[in-house]
Amino acid sequence: MTNGRTGADLAERAADAEADAQAALDNDEDPEEDRPPTDSDYGVAFSPRQVAGGFAIIAALLVLIATRHRRSRDRKKG
């Protein structure tokens, strides 16, 4: 059983990759800039302190919204 790739397809892909790398070097581009982010790139995106601060802000906004909703509901009753 084959995976649908022939030797010619693989050779063409290798030639394309080599040409792309050479073109990037000719244009003074860093080939590492085009690579997708790795797990380690995402690992330090937010510190635990920043996450806790974000949750605190969200919780405060939810309390504010709930309080305003409750006040407006109480005014309508009576």
pLDDT in tens, 13-60: 888 878 777 776 677 666 666 778 777 777 767 888 999 999 999 999
Distance CA 23, CA 18 (A): 9
Q: What is the pTM of this model?
A: 0.43
What is the predicted pLDDT for the residue at 32? Answer: 66
Distance CA 63, CA 71 (A): 12
User: In this model, does residue 2 exceed pLDDT 60?
Assistant: no
User: In this model, does residue 78 exceed pLDDT 90?
Assistant: no
Instruction: Please report the beta strands in 1-78, taking only residues with DSSP state E, as ranges in sequence order.
Output: none
pLDDT band (50, 70, 90) for residue 67: very high
**Buried (b) or exposed (e) across 6-31, using 16+ Cβ within 10 A?**
eeeeeeeeeeeeeeeeeeeeeeeeee
Structure tokens at 49: 């302190």
The residues spanned by each domain of the chain are 1-37, 45-78
- 38 DSSP assignment: P
